[in-house]
Structure 1
Amino acid sequence: MSLKYTNTTADFLDWNEAMNLIRNLSRDGSHKMSLLIAIGCFWGVRISDILSLRWNQILNTDEFTIQEHKTGKNRTIRINNQLKKHITDCYKHISPIGLNSPILVSQMGTTYSIQRINVILKEIKVKYKLNIKNISCHSLRKTFGRQVYNQNSESAELALVKLMELFNHSSVSITKRYLGLRTEELLQTYESLSF
């Protein structure tokens, strides 16, 4: 029997590396991928929810609510000022056909598939020499989770409870396994011993 979230194949990006990547992609004219990575890292939503977003939901607003595809639950997301500026900048460069159009449309006019996004992320990993072993769409969600946890390390249990709620996990132990914390905590036990 295998436990869900025990062996996830996606790793997370270091936060500073992720922020540099967002800036570099934008600088290099890859505004769609810059936007995708920014949204994934800042909101921690699943790729299926990102791909269903439309410009009129996220442009010029402070917060919005989505219904998550996987859980069917509503989730309200607040957009911080830095990300709001980035969304506006990407919108200007992408020049979509309308406010009701999806935020990530391929050159063929269709919404990207998850498989295609994963291929692009692997190409980005190589091009930008990212320090991550296994990258996929899920890496963005994990990057968000790790950053929230790391920023709140003095109250780690509260951070885990928040993440459990945001990720719609049924327990904190699932969230810990999801973030790879259980293994890390166990391995740190060896380092804590001394003579």
Structure 2
Amino acid sequence: MPVDPNTLTLAIYPAPILKIRAEEVDITDPNVHAVAQRMIEMMFEYQGVGLAAPQVGLSWRIFVTRNPEDEDAGIAWINPRLEIIDKTLEIDEEGCLSLPEIRGDIRRSVGIKISGWDMNGNHAEMVSDAFIARVWQHENDHLDGVLILDKMSALDRLVNRRQIKSLERAV
């Protein structure tokens, strides 16, 4: 069933869609490309560095990020796959558009190879050991129903407990 990209809204925790493993999509479906384009627009509107389809209410394996070669442009990854190419782990602070005002230290692999499909239906690959590798892992977690809350330390959960409870009460 086609989705009107103009009706997409940001899903805020504890929206159930955020905890569901997303399904692969048909890369030839023009609606998929329209949704991905709208997600790029939304990412910039919310001043994010990435946005996954579950965050806009869709259980689709799509995420968008800022283009590492041009920060003013977005790039879509459709049915992405990540491969760890450097198992060194690094801890850095992360936030999430679906978890407003919540931040925590998250451990991620340093080097990542991503492959998937772009909005033109072409196969694409990139490799990075820069900040974008962290973003890819964060957004890919969303496609598996994993949030930073699931990865942060007990101390970070404690520090954020008031905001977490506030979001849970808001539903």
Q: Compare relative contact order (CA 8 Å, sep 6+) and give the higher one, 1 or 2.
A: 1
Which is higher, the Rg of structure 1 or of structure 2? 1
Q: Same fold (TM over 0.5)?
A: no
Higher helix share: 1
Higher strand share: 2
Query: With structure 1 as the length reference, what TM-score do the two structures score?
Result: 0.27
